[in-house]
Amino acid sequence: MASTGSGAQVQSCPSCGKPVSTAGLEPFAKVACPACGHQLRVERVFENYLVVEPLGTGGMGSVYKARDTRLNRFVALKLLRKEFAGDAEFTAKLQDEARITASIKHPHVVEVYSVGEDHGQFYVVMELVDGGSLDDRIEDEKRISELEMLEVGLQVAKGLQAALKAGLIHRDIKPGNILFTDRSAAKIVDFGLALLAAAHAETEGEIWGTPYYVAPERLTNTKETFVSDLYSLGATLFHAVSGQPIFAEETQSAAELKKLKSNPPGLRTRLPEISEETAAVIDRMLRPNPADRQKSYEELITELQSAHAAVLAREEELRARWGWPRRIAVSLGVLFLLGALGYGISLGWRHLPRKMAAAATGAEATATPIV
């Protein structure tokens, strides 16, 4: 493929070898060769990042798996929508937040490697986390267990705490922005991008965010703080453990959202079997008034840890309680088998002399005399 930086891009047709312009097309889009009509896929290289395969598409843009040709490693490359490239203020904000995010080295925050602009599009290069998202797990499993939910909540809270210490809030915590390296390690993605999208939405007079998870204060254009992220995390955990978002209605109307969020349902109304400790933490995170939520991430982490310890202790107690009858039953079964075996052996020994005598008598009767 030939390329002239952010200008025209040309690929050779694999069928006839003629040049085919791919300028302005997204990676992996199909384009017909003007000479022979052959359909070919658009290839893209952004600086030193060769796009390998698509991973997903969202409101901010598209995410691709790419190979860093300089360091020879795979990365995630997020291409922002083209309309974001035309505003210098947005660009400056994106670069500022990307620099701050790149400075955060935390096991529960997706690492940002670089940002740039090429072919008229902004891109963000990040650590490749390919274990799926919390959104995927909810879709596959319908809901996750209480212990799993608390563990995810703890990990995300610790990641958000580290970001806050660096001066960042997220503004778009939701299941799709919580990724997994494996089944146990959660990582938060897309710091900074939410600010860019929110600012763009405000200029258009819109409320930006996912209705299920957005904090009520955004609906009144009140300045958001870390407790707004705390609300969104609570709404995310509520959905993950109950299998349903806080409210079922799909609406973008600010007035309707305000009404719905002013009186959130308690977690135990949706999931009666959930522990009181867990319900108390989540319900507090979802208080409509930001001042009524946890006052710090330290406080939230302490509450989540206490709930986790209580649930774990109850599960262990339950296993122990059911374990004793099981062990007793196994012991009784073994004793019964040993008793039956002993009884059978004793019967055999009791009849052995008679059997031996009978065998001897039979032998005498059939013996052949010697002449």
How far apart are the C-alpha atoms of 273 and 208, rounded to whole Å? 34
Residue 182 appears among annotated catalytic residues:
no
Residues contacting 198, CB < 8 A, separation 6+: 171, 208, 209
Q: Report the C-alpha dihedral over residues 34, 36, 41, 46, rounded to 10 degrees.
A: -50
Strands (E), the chain: 2-3, 9-12, 19-21, 30-32, 39-41, 45-46, 49-57, 61-68, 73-80, 112-118, 121-126, 178-180, 186-188
- Tell me the residue length of the chain: 371
Query: Residue 60 corresponds to which tokens in the numbers above?
Result: 């901010």
Residue with tokens 């013996």, as numbered in its chain:
367
Strands 2-3 and 9-12: antiparallel
Is the Cβ–Cβ distance between 186 and 134 less than 8 Å? yes
| Nearest Cα to Cα of residue 113 among 127, 123, 100 | 127
User: 304 in helix, strand or coil?
Assistant: helix
| Annotated catalytic residue within 68, 172, 190, 229 | 172
Query: Residue 37 corresponds to which tokens in the numbers above?
Result: 């009509």
The residues that are catalytic are 172
